[in-house]
């Protein structure tokens, strides 16, 4: 099986690549070879790659910057995605695409189901929803994977930011009224690789039976404050040298950002468990190996 995997320099794409290589030939083009901001070039590239499966983690993900770069965000997340989806539908090649909790407005007090009404609050969320809708409109075999609060020991993410700030500041002020499930790139990769490699040529039927969309996140829930507290406690228990003494919970209103975030980012994982047979780890359990990796890298850079 020839698997086209985008975004391999990113967190999810990077975690997926070694897993997918155990079950097929992975085509991992660079951004210059496969640039979603140049949708007019994608059909020719796909014709040349001739994939049997497309997995697309690549996206415009700068949530706040998207408020000023609306055209670019939609070009990558909507128009570029639509070009891939059109090719996929024409050739009946299954497409696995990654979406986000930001397609919801966060107003409900229950976890969001796959069929919950969408209502993005930000340009980023709107651009991702537009991509989801383009995939459905194309009519090809697809699975839209909605996830939340993605992080890893590498890349730019909340874990890395908190680790850096905890080493520089005595107090951290962290939003406590936004709730979700911190989700490791490795947990996403494990689940997606398991689904596609174990089903092989049956993917089109599997995706169709399950509505073409599934929520995928770590189990459990917390706030950004709870996540930050767990990160700092985990770093301290591993002997990391930190400056931080206090972590203060604050309201979203006390930490204004250019893009509005959902207050409730919890995702209902029933379909993932019942129809795909996948159970993800608790977020605290998934955090532990990422902290191990992060501390190991920090020690290596420090020379001890």
Catalytic residue numbers read 124
Angle at 274 between CA 51 and CA 183, to 5 degrees: 65
For 77-191, strand residue ranges (E) read 94-100, 142-147, 150-151, 171-175, 179-180, 183-184
Three-state DSSP at 41 gives helix
CB 199 within 8 A of CB 273: no
Answer positive or negative: Cα dihedral of 249, 250, 256, 262.
Answer: positive
Contacts of 234 (CB under 8 A, 6+ apart): 287, 288, 291
Token pair belonging to 138: 């194309």
Contacts for 48-53 with beta carbons within 8 Å, 24 or more apart?
A: 49/2, 49/4, 50/2, 51/2, 51/3, 51/4, 51/27, 51/93, 52/1, 52/2, 52/3, 52/24, 52/93, 53/1, 53/2, 53/3, 53/4, 53/24, 53/93, 53/94, 53/95, 53/96, 53/196, 53/203
CA torsion 130-145-178-227 (nearest 10°) is: -140
CB 53 within 8 A of CB 98: no
Give the C-alpha separation, 175 to 92, whole Å.
44
Strands 94-100 and 183-184, by their bridges, are unpaired
C-beta neighbour count of 273 within 10 angstroms: 13
């Amino acid at each position: 099986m020839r698997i086209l995997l985008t975004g391999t320099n990113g967190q999810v794409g990077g975690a997926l690549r070694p897993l997918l290589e155990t079950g097929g030939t992975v085509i991992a083009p660079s951004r210059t070879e496969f640039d979603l901001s140049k949708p007019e070039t994608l059909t020719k590239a796909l014709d040349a790659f001739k994939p049997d499966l497309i997995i697309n983690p690549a996206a415009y993900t700068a949530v706040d910057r998207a408020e000023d770069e609306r055209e670019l965000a939609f070009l990558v997340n909507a128009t570029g995605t639509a070009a891939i989806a059109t090719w996929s539908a024409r050739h009946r090649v299954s497409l696995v695409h990654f979406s986000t909790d930001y397609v919801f407005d966060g107003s409900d007090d229950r976890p969001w189901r796959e069929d919950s009404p969408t209502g993005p609050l930000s340009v980023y969320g709107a651009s991702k929803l537009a991509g989801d809708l383009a995939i459905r409109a194309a009519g090809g075999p697809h699975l839209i994977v909605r996830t939340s609060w993605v992080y890893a020991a590498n890349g730019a993410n909340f874990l890395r930011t908190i680790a850096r700030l905890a080493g520089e500041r005595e107090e951290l002020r962290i939003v406590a009224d936004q709730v979700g499930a911190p989700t490791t790139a490795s947990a996403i990769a494990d689940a997606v690789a398991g689904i596609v490699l174990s089903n092989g040529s049956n993917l089109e039927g599997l995706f169709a039976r399950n509505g073409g969309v599934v929520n995928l996140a770590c189990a459990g829930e917390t706030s950004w404050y709870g996540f930050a507290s767990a990160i700092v406690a985990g770093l301290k228990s591993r002997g990391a040298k930190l400056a931080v003494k206090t972590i203060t919970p604050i309201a979203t209103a006390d930490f204004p950002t250019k893009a509005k975030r959902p207050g409730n980012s919890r995702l209902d994982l029933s379909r993932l468990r019942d129809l795909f047979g996948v159970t993800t780890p608790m977020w605290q359990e998934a955090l532990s190996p990422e902290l191990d990796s992060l501390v190991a890298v920090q020690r290596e850079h420090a020379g001890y």
